[in-house]
């Protein structure tokens, strides 16, 4: 008994204090969102989030200093780029639309096909992607080491001034977990404020259920975080097969990660290929039953919604625009 207590005496208080400090300092999630579970090996600190924000907006992470994370995930467009597909270094275009960084804290796997298992694992991908930021990790670390102003920021965030790729990833991921959207009219309505949502949006909420949108866009973040085939672009000659490319499982053929619908009003154009320009087009796409194919999810089928129901459904989706991310803007000055 004594021995156990002694061991606990050595280990538990430090662990407990650490957990308490994390819980105490992380910003409170807006109404409607569950508490963020911060990874044990990358807990929240204000210093790390602040460093991550600076790195996120700093174009010098790219090979020629022209592209930052924020180029394609811009707060002005609710952390997307407002284009069907993104433009990276030297004007090169990729094949997929930039998803929002909003509310990524509530899912582990990242990318339309889920190929990155965490935000930390995701963050270094674009830096090295030849058509996004075109750099190498060594190149990035060398650049950052050459900017005297970064060393003290790494010191504050990590305890010493060493700059390495792992720390860059951890800092950026910490910042990304603070980019959240909640406290929308829907959240306030759900919390009991009867007039927080318009009558049209309330009717649309029921259409959302009737049309089984919530089979996939479910829960607090309006996503099951699962991969499903809604047929988007599957009839194109060189169709993107999505999750199948990663797993080679038949069930994943043409399946993409179900995206959040929070702040969806601000992240047009829509879908992994950016092919639908408006929420009205999205609703029409589902109403006609998607694009028939061998793996189409059974929840996507012809609905014959009336014009009024369609308009209400759009009104509901617009009631998912929230706060939490709105004050976030590029730093006015970068370390020199």
Using CB under 6 A, pick the residue from 33, 49, 123, 201 that binds ligand HEC: 123
Q: Which stretch binds ligand HEC (CB under 6 A): 8-16, 24-32, 94-102, 243-251?
A: 94-102
CA 112 to chain centre: 10
Instruction: Count other C-beta atoms under 10 Å from residue 310's C-beta.
Output: 20
Cα gap 316→330, rounded to integer Å: 30
| Minimum distance from residue 4 beta carbon to ligand HEC (Å) | 43
Using CB under 6 A, pick the residue from 63, 105, 216, 320 that binds ligand HEC: 216
| Minimum distance from residue 163 beta carbon to ligand HEC (Å) | 15
Q: Which stretch binds ligand HEC (CB under 6 A): 123-131, 178-186, 187-195, 322-330?
A: 123-131
Restricted to residues 285-314, the positions that interact with ligand HEC (CB under 6 A) are: 286, 297, 299-300, 313
Residues ≥6 apart with Cβ < 8 Å to 39:
118, 120
**Cα-trace Rg, the chain:** 22
Using CB under 6 A, pick the residue from 53, 177, 217, 310 that binds ligand HEC: 217
Cα gap 213→225, rounded to integer Å: 14
Structure tokens at 60: 């010098």
Residues ≥6 apart with Cβ < 8 Å to 193:
none
b/e sequence 54-89, b meaning 16+ C-beta within 10 Å: bbbbbebbbbeeebbbbbbbbbebbbbbbebbbbbb
Query: Residues 154, 69, 117, CA angle at the centre, nearest 5°?
Result: 80
Residue 51 is a binding residue for ligand HEC (CB under 6 A): no
Residue 72 is a binding residue for ligand HEC (CB under 6 A): yes
Residue 26 is a binding residue for ligand HEC (CB under 6 A): no
Cα gap 183→315, rounded to integer Å: 17
Residue 96 is a binding residue for ligand HEC (CB under 6 A): yes
Residue 204 is a binding residue for ligand HEC (CB under 6 A): no
Residues near ligand HEC (CB under 6 A): 67, 69, 71-73, 86, 88, 94, 96, 98-99, 101, 104, 110-113, 119, 122-123, 126-127, 132-133, 172, 211-213, 215-217, 228, 230, 232, 256, 258-259, 261, 264, 267, 270-272, 279, 282-283, 286, 297, 299-300, 313
């Amino acid at each position: 008994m004594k021995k156990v207590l002694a061991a606990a005496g050595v280990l538990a208080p430090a662990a407990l204090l650490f957990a308490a400090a994390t819980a105490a300092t992380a910003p409170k999630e807006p109404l409607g969102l569950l508490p963020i579970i911060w990874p044990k090996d990358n807990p929240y600190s204000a210093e790390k989030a602040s460093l991550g924000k600076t790195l996120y907006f700093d174009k010098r992470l790219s090979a020629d200093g022209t592209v930052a994370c924020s180029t394609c995930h811009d707060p002005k467009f609710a952390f997307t780029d407002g284009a069907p597909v993104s433009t990276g270094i030297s004007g090169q275009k990729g094949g997929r639309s930039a998803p929002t960084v909003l509310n990524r804290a509530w899912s582990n796997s990242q990318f339309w096909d889920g190929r990155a298992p965490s935000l930390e694992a995701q963050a270094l991908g674009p830096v090295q992607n030849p058509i996004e930021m075109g750099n190498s990790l060594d190149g990035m670390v060398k650049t950052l080491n050459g900017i005297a102003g970064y060393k003290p920021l790494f010191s504050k965030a990590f305890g010493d001034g060493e700059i390495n790729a792992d720390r860059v990833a951890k800092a950026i991921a910490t910042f990304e977990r603070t980019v959240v959207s909640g406290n929308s009219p829907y959240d306030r309505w759900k919390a009991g404020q009867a007039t927080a949502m318009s009558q049209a949006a309330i009717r649309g909420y029921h259409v959302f259920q009737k049309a089984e949108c919530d089979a996939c866009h479910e829960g607090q973040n309006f996503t099951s975080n699962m991969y499903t085939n809604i047929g988007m672009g599957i009839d194109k000659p060189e169709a993107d097969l999505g999750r199948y490319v990663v797993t080679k499982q038949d069930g994943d053929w043409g399946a993409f990660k179900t995206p959040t619908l929070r702040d969806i009003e601000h992240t047009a154009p829509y879908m992994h290929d950016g092919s639908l320009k408006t929420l009205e087009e999205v609703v029409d796409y589902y109403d006609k039953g998607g694009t028939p194919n061998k793996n189409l999810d059974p929840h996507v089928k012809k609905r014959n919604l009336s014009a009024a129901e369609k308009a209400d459904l759009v009104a509901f989706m617009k009631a998912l625009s929230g706060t939490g991310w709105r004050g976030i803007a590029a730093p006015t000055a970068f370390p020199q």
